[in-house]
Chains A and B, each alone.
Chain A
Amino acid sequence: MIDGRLADAAADGEESFPRIKTGNPQADEILGGGFPCNSINILMGQPGTGKTIFAQQLLFHNATGGRPLLFVTTLSEPMHKVVSYVQRFDFFNPGRIGDDIQYEDLGAALSERGPIALSDWLSHAIKTRSPKVVVIDSFRAIHDLAISADETRRFISNIAGLLSAYDVTTFLLGEYTQDDIRTFPEFAVADAIVELARQPRSSRDERFLRVLKLRGSAYREGQHAFRITASGLELYPRLVAPREPEKYVSSVDRISTGVHGLDDILGGGLLAGSTTLVVGMAGSGKTTLALQFALEGVRRGEQTLYVNFQENPAQLRRAIGNLGEDPDALQRKGLRLLYASPVELQIDSIVVEIFDAIKSGTIRRLVIDAVGDLGAAASDSQRLHDYLYSLIQHFAARGVTTVLTLESGEGFTGSTLAHDERFSYMSDNLIYLAWSPLKVGHRTIRVVKMRGSAHERDIRGFEIGAEGVRVL
Chain B
Amino acid sequence: MAQVNTSPDNHLRAVSDLTPQLDIPASNAEGSAIILVVERDPHIRELESYFLNEAGFTVDFAADGLDALTRARDLRPDIIITEVLVPKLDGLALCRTVKSDPDLRHIVMLVFSILAVQSRAREAGADAFLMKPLAEKRLVETVRQLLVMRSAMSQPEETHD
Contact = CB atoms under 8 A, between A and B. Distances in A.
B153 A1 contact: yes
A15 to B, nearest CB: 9
Nearest to A13: B131
Interface stretch (B8-16, B26-34, B84-92): B8-16
B134 A165 contact: yes
B11 A3 contact: no
Given A5-B18, A12-B11, A126 B133 contact: no
B42 A13 contact: no
Given A2-B149, A14-B118, A127-B47, A9 B133 contact: no
Contacts of A1: 105, 153, 157
Nearest to A39: B133
B13 A8 contact: yes
Contact of A38 (B41, B133, B137, B142): B133
B136 A130 contact: yes
A225 to B, nearest CB: 35
Given A12-B11, A13-B116, A130-B137, A165 B131 contact: no
Q: How many B residues touch the partner, as a band?
A: 35 or more
B100 to A, nearest CB: 12
A469 to B, nearest CB: 66
B71 interface: no
A9 B14 contact: yes
Contacts of A7: 14, 118, 122
Interface residues of A, number: 27
Nearest to A165: B43
B47 A165 contact: yes
A161 B133 contact: no
Contacts of B51: 127
A168 B43 CA distance: 14
Contacts of A466: none
Contacts of B43: 161-162, 164-166
Interface string A140-170: 0000000000000000000001101111100
Nearest to A5: B14
A8 B47 contact: no
A84 interface: no
| Of A1, A2, A4, A161, most B-chain CB atoms within 10 Å | A2
A335 to B, nearest CB: 52
A6 interface: yes
Interface string B110-150: 00000010100110011111111111111000100000011
Given A9-B15, A10-B130, A167-B134, A2 B50 contact: no
Nearest to B12: A9
Contacts of A418: none
B44 interface: yes
Contacts of B129: 6, 9-10, 13
Contacts of B122: 3-4, 6-7
A9 B149 contact: no
Contacts of A161: 41-43
A13 B134 contact: no
B76 to A, nearest CB: 18
A11 interface: yes
Interface of B: 9-15, 18, 41-44, 46-47, 50-51, 99, 105, 108, 116, 118, 121-122, 125-138, 142, 149-150, 153, 157
The 5 closest A-B pairs by CB, nearest first: A13-B131, A10-B118, A167-B135, A165-B43, A10-B129
Given A1-B105, A3-B126, A6-B14, 19 more contacts: A2-B149, A3-B122, A6-B12, A7-B118, A8-B11, A9-B128, A9-B129, A9-B130, A10-B11, A10-B129, A10-B130, A11-B10, A13-B118, A13-B131, A126-B47, A165-B132, A165-B133, A166-B135, A168-B133
13 contacts: A5-B14, A7-B14, A9-B12, A10-B116, A10-B121, A10-B129, A11-B11, A16-B116, A123-B46, A164-B43, A165-B41, A165-B133, A166-B47
